[in-house]
């Protein structure tokens, strides 16, 4: 049996059936980010013993999959190191990324599944970041992401005998600041929130909350009147 329908993260009726992102969680993120691009649903086959005999994380045709992988390899191995914003972002757009005006992605950043990456206007992403868009990654307007930040999409079902992936999208709303070396697991980071340096975000962050630590917890609130600036920053050769 091939099944490409989204399931739940709870127990399955069939032993070995893969878990899936919570539909309510995905719907909430789509409501916050209507232009979030989600990849095709996974598909799988179950054997008579209930174990997964075939699994594909994204049910897309070979041509589309090959195009995505070729673009990903070329960007992460070569293009990301070219000291030209025009070349780097032009390449990403060519392979399906949506990037707004005056946004910047600094050199050395790694991007997984370029097609499902969306970045708004006036957003700056620092050096050597990891943008994991395999489950859909949406970053809003005037977001500041410092160097060495990791934004992850999904995880693994640790209770499944085949350790199968669970694709879960990540959304970062407008005017968010994520400081250096923070790691954001699949979540919704609300408008104007701040994530402190080296924080580990394991759940949603409310708008205007300032969070830090491992796991990240709120410890301050941001002034909503401060959210009117432009975060665009495009130095030469960076």
pLDDT over 90 (residue 13): no
Bridging pattern class, strands 43-46 and 52-56: antiparallel
Indicate the pLDDT class of residue 49, thresholds 50, 70 and 90.
confident
Window from 28-37, 53-62, 128-137 with minimum mean pLDDT: 53-62
Domain assignment present for 238: no
Window from 36-45, 175-184, 213-222 with minimum mean pLDDT: 36-45
Residues with Cβ within 8 Å of 121's Cβ and at least 6 positions away in sequence, in order, are 100, 101, 102, 103, 141, 142, 232
Q: Residue 149: which domain range?
A: 61-226
Domain assignment present for 133: yes
Biggest alpha carbon–alpha carbon distance for the chain: 60
Indicate the pLDDT class of residue 10, thresholds 50, 70 and 90.
very low
**CA–CA gap between residue 214 and residue 223 (Å, rounded):** 24
**Average pLDDT over every residue of 80-108:** 97
> How high is the pLDDT of residue 15?
63
Domains held by the chain: number:
1
> Distance between alpha carbon 54 and the CA centroid of its chain, in Å?
25
CATH assignment at residue 77: 2.160.10.10
Domain assignment present for 120: yes
Window from 28-37, 48-57, 82-91, 192-201 with minimum mean pLDDT: 48-57
Domain assignment present for 9: no
Domain assignment present for 152: yes
86: which DSSP letter?
H
Domain assignment present for 43: no
211: phi then psi, degrees, rounded to nearest 5: -120, 155
pLDDT over 50 (residue 82): yes
Indicate the pLDDT class of residue 69, thresholds 50, 70 and 90.
very high
């Amino acid at each position: 049996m091939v099944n490409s329908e989204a399931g739940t993260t709870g127990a399955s009726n069939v032993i070995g059936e893969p878990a899936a992102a919570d539909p309510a969680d995905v719907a909430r993120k789509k409501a916050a980010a209507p232009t979030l691009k989600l990849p095709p649903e996974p598909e799988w086959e179950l054997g008579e013993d209930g174990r997964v005999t075939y699994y594909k994380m994204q049910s897309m045709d070979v041509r589309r999959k090959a195009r995505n992988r070729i673009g990903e390899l070329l960007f992460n191995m070569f293009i990301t190191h070219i000291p030209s914003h025009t070349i780097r972002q032009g390449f990403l757009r060519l392979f399906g990324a949506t990037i707004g005006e005056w946004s910047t992605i600094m050199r050395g950043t790694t991007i997984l599944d370029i097609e499902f990456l969306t970045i708004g206007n006036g957003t700056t992403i620092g050096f050597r970041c990891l943008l994991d868009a395999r489950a859909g990654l949406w970053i809003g307007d005037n977001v500041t992401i410092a160097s060495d930040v990791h934004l992850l999409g999904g995880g693994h079902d640790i209770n499944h005998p085949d350790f199968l992936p669970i694709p879960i999208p990540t959304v970062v709303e407008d005017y968010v600041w994520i400081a250096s070396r923070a790691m954001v697991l699949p979540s919704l980071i609300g408008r104007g929130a701040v994530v402190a340096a080296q924080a580990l975000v394991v759940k949603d962050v409310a708008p205007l909350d300032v969070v830090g630590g491992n796991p990240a917890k709120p410890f301050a609130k941001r002034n909503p009147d401060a959210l009117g600036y432009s975060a665009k920053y495009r130095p030469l050769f960076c």
